[in-house]
Structure 1
Amino acid sequence: MMTEQPTWRSSSYSENGGQCVEVTPSRAATTGAVPGRDSKNPTGPVLTVTDDAFTHFVNGLTSDAFDR
């Protein structure tokens, strides 16, 4: 069981008044999952995805795979 608080971070590109997603990728090494949350509601629900899914998502963003 983990007792330390996660270190949440958002993208360095997120300068839009706090309307972004925060993640704590450091948890992936020990849990195999990356938690994410809405920065406007830090005590709200957390969506957790596998580290593999998160890696594919980030790679898709950086390669413009989601452009229309």
Structure 2
Amino acid sequence: MKSLLSSKPALWFLFLFNLAVAAVAPFVVEGTQGLMTSVGMGVVSLGAGVSLVRGRGETADAR
């Protein structure tokens, strides 16, 4: 499971999908629930983005 979640396509999907949901959630779901959904999805998106940036300098045989 770790190798699947650390693959570039999966990280890009997590980054973009969660970023889109974080941007739209406050407008679709009203109140505190929408805000907390946005914050949670934003944290997941940032985590995936950081993993993408960290892995940028690594070569394929370093993994």
Give TM class, smaller chain: 0.3 to 0.5
Q: Which has the higher contact order (CA 8 A, sep 6+)?
A: 2
Structure number with the higher strand fraction is 1
Tell me the TM-score normalised to structure 2 length: 0.33
Tell me the TM-score normalised to structure 1 length: 0.31
Highest CA radius of gyration, 1 or 2? 2
